[in-house]
Amino acid sequence: MFNPLVKILGVIALVLATAVNAEEKDPFDITVYGSFIHTGTVPNALFFFNDMSIRQFLSCVAIRNHDINIVVLASDGGSVWEGLNMAGIIHDKGIATYVPKLPEKLGCYSACSFMFFGGKIRQADGILAVHQAGAYGSERDKASAKVSETQQNTQFTVSEIIGFLNEFETPSWVFEKMFRSRDFYFFDDDEKERLASRAEEISSENLYEINAFVSRFLKYIDNLSKEEKKADEEKDPEISEDEQLRLAVIEIQKLLNAVGCNAGTADGIWGRRTQSAAVLFAKTAKLPTSKEELISKAFVEALRKANKNFCPEPKNIGVSSFAKIYDASCGGRSISALVTISEVNSKQDF
């Protein structure tokens, strides 16, 4: 709806419930009940930091498990029917409602306001906003929807809202603000003061405890978010399979060179020289010589364990014994050249 941060707070609250259990000391003593959270630091309050959902029945469990007499509201709203049902529970049990003053644009919007009006004791220090009920963002909200069906559903919904709000003795001028537009209407400070009911019954000590928890909790969530962002930034970038293979070949080439098997320049290219060096090492170490086995963790581990001069050195043959005449045909001519094996090898550098 208006501000996605409220929904995020609800999601993080669910995560926090399990995360803090792993800590030596739970900083908030939090228990999660659907979209509500309860904290041992303010035992008489339930905090609503999420959208309306079908899990509102869990709020009854929270009310039964704890001596709850006030619900703190900070939500974008959500389901009209869940909002009305929860408002009915709040009203029937005589639970107070409170909208704290929050940073940014966090506040009590849309269906959340039904819960606020359900409080026989209520006070709004923060944002309280209402608008027309509707199927926002759904298929029914498109121009292609059947007009008659939309009108029928809207009229039924509006009648239910009016019925609940009348039961809550909501001032009639609220209906004018609520139903006049799909845009949010934000109650100003004077209007919120007029909407307050028996606010003096909420002790200043209780309000202080509530606001202190909200402040600490939001700061805690913000720090978690920053830590998560920092961790993401510090993560090594994802490497493609081709790049992973290139890096693996470079490591193998370096290791082959280190143990005396000349693999040439460590460039990450599996050429004939690297292949020959790897096969030489494998045969010497009595390892398999297939390419799959040569580019493997087992092969790398064997290289790491090998001695510096593991590969056999080339035999040292005197010049007089390996001088040899090579005949070659070049452009139809027969030529002879006196070369050494060492010179031939130098020309086969690949």
User: 135 falls in which pLDDT band (50, 70, 90)?
Assistant: low
pLDDT at 350: 35
Distance CA 9, CA 31 (A): 15
Q: What mean pLDDT comes out for the span 38-57?
A: 80
Cα atoms in the Cβ-side hemisphere of radius 13 Å centred on 180: 9
Q: What is the dihedral of CA 221, 225, 226, 227, to 10 degrees?
A: 100
Q: Render pLDDT for 276-305 as a digit per residue (tens, 0 to 9).
A: 999 999 999 999 999 889 999 999 999 999
Distance CA 250, CA 247 (A): 5
Record the tokens describing residue 204, joined without a space: 């200043």
pTM of the complete model: 0.61
Element (H, E) at 167: helix 147-167
Of 14-23, 45-54, 104-113, 129-138, give the range with the top mean pLDDT. 104-113
> Given a cut of 70, is residue 269 above it in pLDDT?
yes
pLDDT at 13: 52
pLDDT: is 94 or 23 the higher one?
94
Of 154-158, 276-280, 342-346, give the range with the top mean pLDDT. 276-280
> Could you tell me the strand order of the sheet in which 107-109 lies?
107-109, 127-130, 185-186
> Given a cut of 50, is residue 328 above it in pLDDT?
no
Distance CA 233, CA 230 (A): 5
**For 22-36, 82-96, 234-248, 308-322, which range has the lowest pLDDT when averaged over its residues?**
308-322
Our CA angle for 287, 293, 297, nearest 5°, is 100
Distance CA 275, CA 292 (A): 12
> Hunting for tokens 């039961």 — which residue is that?
167
Contacts of 243 by beta carbon, 8 Å cutoff, 6+ apart: none
**For 141-150, 263-272, 289-298, 304-313, which range has the lowest pLDDT when averaged over its residues?**
141-150
Q: Contact at 8 Å (CB) between 77 and 111?
A: yes
Q: Contact at 8 Å (CB) between 262 and 287?
A: no
pLDDT: is 272 or 25 the higher one?
272
Q: What mean pLDDT comes out for the span 67-95?
A: 91
Q: What mean pLDDT comes out for the span 22-26?
A: 52
Q: Characterise 168 by phi-psi region: left (phi > 0), alpha (psi -120 to 50), beta (else).
A: alpha
DSSP strand pairing (70-73 vs 45-48): parallel
Contacts of 233 by beta carbon, 8 Å cutoff, 6+ apart: none
Q: Which of 214, 171, 199 is nearest to 96 (CA)?
A: 199
Q: What is the dihedral of CA 193, 197, 7, 174, to 10 degrees?
A: -70
pLDDT at 52: 66
Distance CA 236, CA 231 (A): 10
Structural domains of the chain, with CATH: 4-232 (3.90.226.10), 239-313 (no CATH), 316-350 (no CATH)
Q: Which of 146, 61, 73, 84 is nearest to 106 (CA)?
A: 73
Record the tokens describing residue 268, joined without a space: 């990450």
